Amino acid sequence: MLIALCDYARQHNRSSDTVRRLAESGMLTTAQKIGRNWVVDSNEAYPSKKKVAKRPITVVSLFSGCGGMDLGLIGGFDFLGKHYSKTGFKIIWANEINPAACKTYRDNFGNYIVEGDISEKINTIPASADIVVGGFPCQDISINGKMLGVNGKRSSLYTYIVEAVKRVHPKVFIAENKLNESVFRAMLVKMGISQTEMQHDLENLSEGQKKKILLGKSISENAHIYIWDEPLNYIDIQTREQIENMILEYMPTLLFIEHDEMFCEKVSNKPAIILEN
């Protein structure tokens, strides 16, 4: 039996406008227009939306080792009593030069890891991926290493992450490198982070504590210049003084934006004031 669209809409607890659009788009197979009005067979089932399968987020991984960083990206594991669910990321290509690490990777992830020197395997990299990730060797730039800089034999390998980004054109790239933990912890102590707080998950800390950790991490890294955007956000007066003392003690080359005039006067030696218009 043919009924009006408004009656069909009430029958299926839908709005008349929604049902009309279904009729106009042809999703109601029995719908027809008589004069200016739409009618539809009362027995026609309401069309269900087809679920569109989500496309996985594809990842290209360089200097993959045995896959620790890749595991963190794709999820699906338990650590310290907490389960980390699958994320929807999919590693489509990985590279590592160490045969033992490659064997471990294959045993735990799959055979898509390409074993060999990145300089020889870079041409096998996929033409596209959503993310490029890599933890390039750090011996030449670590303060515990030979300090040869980015031109050293090992740390110059970062250029292959740059090359991968040029070839793959990812939406995001992640370049991981090591942090001197003892220096980092010392910085946190100077900013009032206790040893107990250092054991907590970052997500359970206050915004002020998170900001201290980010600043401590930044200043612990070996760099020619540090760039900070409003470092005193969420920071109390006592911590502000601790940050001031830390900057004055280590004297890093620092470019920062901050609205606190007293802080700027104390730690900067060349202020720049930007006026609107």
DSSP characters over 224-242: S-EEEESTTTT--HHHHHH
In this structure, are residues 13 and 7 in contact, taking their beta carbons and an 8 Å threshold? no
pLDDT digits (tens, 9 = 90+) for 24-38: 888 888 988 888 788
In this structure, are residues 38 and 28 in contact, taking their beta carbons and an 8 Å threshold? no
For residue 234, pLDDT over 80 is answered with yes
Among residues of the chain, what percentage have pLDDT more than 70? Answer: 87
Tokens, residue 225 = 């210049």
For residue 220, pLDDT over 80 is answered with no
pLDDT digits (tens, 9 = 90+) for 67-81: 988 999 999 999 888
Q: What is the mean pLDDT of residues 187-207?
A: 80
Phi, psi of 61 (to 5 degrees): -120, 125
pLDDT confidence of 208, banded at 50, 70, 90? confident
CA angle 139, 107, 105 (to 5 degrees): 20
For residue 230, pLDDT over 70 is answered with yes
Burial of 236 (0-12, 13-18, 19+ CB in 10 A): exposed
Torsion of CA 165, 166, 167, 171, to 10 degrees: 50
Quick check: is 138 catalytic? Answer: yes
Task: Please tell me whether residue 146 adopts helix, strand or coil conformation.
Answer: coil
Considering 6, 66, 102, 138, which one is annotated as catalytic?
138
Alpha helices in the chain (DSSP H): 5-11, 16-24, 68-74, 99-108, 118-121, 158-168, 181-190, 195-198, 207-220, 237-250, 261-267
- Angstrom CA distances, 244 to 157, 190, 235, 249, 250, stand at 36, 11, 12, 9, 10
pLDDT digits (tens, 9 = 90+) for 128-177: 999 999 877 665 555 555 555 555 555 567 788 889 999 999 999 887 76
Global pTM reads: 0.52
User: Rounded to a whole number, what is the distance in angstroms from the first to the last CA of the chain?
Assistant: 70
